Amino acid sequence: MQIVAFFNNKGGVGKTTLLCNIAAACAQDLGKRVLIVDADPQRNASFYTLEAPAFAAVARTGGLHRMLSNPKAPPATLLGSAHFGCHVLPGEPAMADLAPQFDVAWGGGDAPYILNLKSVLDAQRPDYDLILLDLPPTLNGLTRAGLIAADAFVAPFDMDMFSLEGLKLIKDWIRRWEPAWRGLTEASPESSARARFIGGVANRMTRDSGESSEQYGVITRQIDSLTTAMARDLADRVRGADYVIAEVPNFGEAAALANRLRRPIFDARVHPAARPVFVRAAEQMLANLERFATQARAA
Ligand SMILES: Nc1ncnc2c1ncn2[C@@H]1O[C@H](COP(=O)(O)OP(=O)(O)O)[C@@H](O)[C@H]1O
Ligand SMILES: [Mg+2]
> Ligand 1 within 6 A of 12 CB?
yes
Sequence length of the chain is: 299
Among 117, 203, 168, 189, residue whose Cα is nearest residue 9: 168
Q: Minimum-distance ligand to the CA of 206?
A: 1
Angle at 52 between CA 49 and CA 56, to 5 degrees: 105
Residues bordering ligand 2, an ion, CB closer than 5 Å: 15-16, 44
Angle at 188 between CA 120 and CA 94, to 5 degrees: 35
Produce one character per residue of 57-80: b if its CB has 16 or more CB atoms within 10 Å, e if not.
Answer: ebeeebbbbbbbbeeeeeebbbbe
* 136 Cα to the center of ligand 2, angstroms: 6
* 38 Cα to the center of ligand 2, angstroms: 9
Question: What is the 3-state secondary structure of 173-231?
Answer: HHHHHHHHHHHHHHHCCCCCCCCEEEEEEEEEECCCCCCCHHHHHHHHHHHHHHHHHHH
Q: Minimum-distance ligand to the CA of 40?
A: 2
Handedness of CA 97, 103, 105, 111 (dihedral sign): positive
pLDDT per residue of the chain (299 residues) written in tens, 0 to 9? 999 999 999 999 999 999 999 999 999 999 999 999 999 999 999 999 999 999 999 999 999 999 998 877 777 789 999 999 999 999 999 999 999 999 999 999 899 999 999 999 999 999 999 999 999 999 999 999 999 999 999 999 998 888 888 888 999 999 999 888 888 877 665 555 799 999 999 999 876 656 667 777 888 898 999 999 999 999 999 999 999 999 999 999 999 999 999 999 999 999 999 999 999 999 999 999 999 988 888 87
- Closest C-alpha to ligand 1, atom 10: 14
Candidate of 17, 49, 261 to mutate for ligand 1, largest count of ligand atoms within 8 Å of Cβ = 17
The residues that bridge with 154 in the sheet, in sequence order, are: 6, 199
* DSSP one-letter string for the chain: -EEEEE--SSTTSSHHHHHHHHHHHHHHTT---EEEEE--TT-HHHHHHS-HHHHHHHHHH--HHHHHH-TTSPPPPPEEETTTTEEEE---TTHHHHHHHHHHHHHTT-HHHHTHHHHHHHTTGGG-SEEEEE--SS-SHHHHHHHHH-SEEEEEEESSHHHHHHHHHHHHHHHHHHHHHHHHHHHSTTS--SPEEEEEEEEEE---TTS-HHHHHHHHHHHHHHHHHHHHHTT---TT--SEEEEEE--THHHHHHHHHTS-TTSTTT-GGGHHHHHHHHHHHHHHHHHHHHHHHH-
Question: Residue 72: what are its φ and ψ, rounded to 5°?
Answer: -85, -15
CA–CA dist 243, 43 (Å, integer): 28
> How much is the pTM?
0.96
* 17 Cα to the center of ligand 2, angstroms: 7
- Closest C-alpha to ligand 1, atom 13: 12
> Ligand 1 within 6 A of 203 CB?
yes
* 123 Cα to the center of ligand 1, angstroms: 30
Among 290, 262, 232, 228, residue whose Cα is nearest residue 50: 262
CA–CA dist 160, 265 (Å, integer): 22
Domains of the chain and any CATH numbers: 2-298 (3.40.50.300)
pLDDT at 181: 87
